[in-house]
Structure 1
């Protein structure tokens, strides 16, 4: 009796045989185990990767499956892989198709390596996409700023974009001359100093 916990000792001591003591313990704690199994399976079903890193997602699933194994409800490798695939999200769809179409099941270790490799691939692709998007934005801003700068320079330089034909004596006059060469129309501005 020295090895029995003090909280359950009174119940075990009153048993007439060791089998009756064992049966009492089994019926008392089996229900708790079954409740725990239901709770753990429910928690496992609800785990989604969402914004978690793959390693954190796998760790969370592994903690629950290890607890299930402790209470006697071990999850098979195939069930574990299916659970992980179902919670990954659409960005892992291509990898999911490859894993599900295999003739032989994949081990958890190989599968976890493939998931982390795919996560790295997705991050690199996102970085490239982000850099490309930023480059396009910078190029567009540069073009827009240059266009605005040219307009502002002409507008605020104090010089009109055109001059009237009549100016005071001694100043240049601007004249427009329309020409057509080889079927192309062009307009040229010439200056002349009045006499």
Structure 2
């Protein structure tokens, strides 16, 4: 009895055979194991990418799916791939559709690599959008200023305030005429 865990010592001491001990322990802990399976599967079903990076999202899924075999409920590769694709969200719809359209099954590792590459591609696209050319905004003039509008006819430009500007012409040698 010295090597028996204190949490099960009373169950072992009260039993009259090893089979009785085994049955009692199985009944006690099998229910907890089933609860653990349900809990892990529920957590796995609820995981979505949301605002997480691909690495964080797949790490969470991988961690949960790695725990399931230890409680007797392994997740198959196709089941895992479907779970991952379903939780990606609309911003990764294109790559999800491409992976679903494949003729061959993709492995978790291949999917991880492809999703990381696509996430990097999307970041580069977003960076391009942010570095677009500078645009000017038309601001209203203060009430004491009026805009100047210029009209050019030939070599003479007339401003809206009446000022005329005459532009000299240049001959082939570059001197004014």
> Shorter chain as normaliser: what TM range?
0.7 to 0.9
CA distance in 2, matches of 1:98, 1:72: 33
Alignment partner, residue 103 of structure 2: 103
Alignment partner, residue 89 of structure 2: 89
Matched, 1:139 2:148: no
Matches within 5 A, 1:109-120: 109-120=109-120
Shift of 1:87: 0.4
Secondary structure of 1:5's partner? coil
- Whose Rg is larger? 1
Matches within 5 A, 1:25-64: 25-64=25-64
Secondary structure of 1:140's partner? coil
CA distance in 2, matches of 1:152, 1:121: 49
Shift of 1:130: 1.5
Q: Encode CA deviations 1:6-57: one digit per residue, 9 max, x unaligned.
A: 1111101221221211111111011111111111111111111011000000
| TM-score, L = length of structure 1 | 0.70
Alpha carbons of structure 1 residues 26 and 189: separation in structure 2 relative to 1, 3 Å: closer
Shift of 1:4: 2.0
Q: Which runs of 5+ in 1 are unaligned?
A: 164-187, 191-195
Moved runs in structure 1, 4+ residues, more than 6 A? none
CA distance in 2, matches of 1:11, 1:65: 33
Whichever structure has more helix as a proportion of its residues is 1
Alignment partner, residue 68 of structure 1: 68
Q: Encode CA deviations 1:124-147: one digit per residue, 9 max, x unaligned.
A: 011111112xx2xx2324xx47x9
CA contact under 8 A between 1:154 and 1:161: conserved in structure 2?
no
RCO higher in structure (CA 8 A, sep ≥6): 2
Secondary structure of 2:94's partner? helix
CA distance in 1, matches of 2:145, 2:33: 78
Secondary structure of 2:136's partner? helix
Alignment partner, residue 80 of structure 1: 80
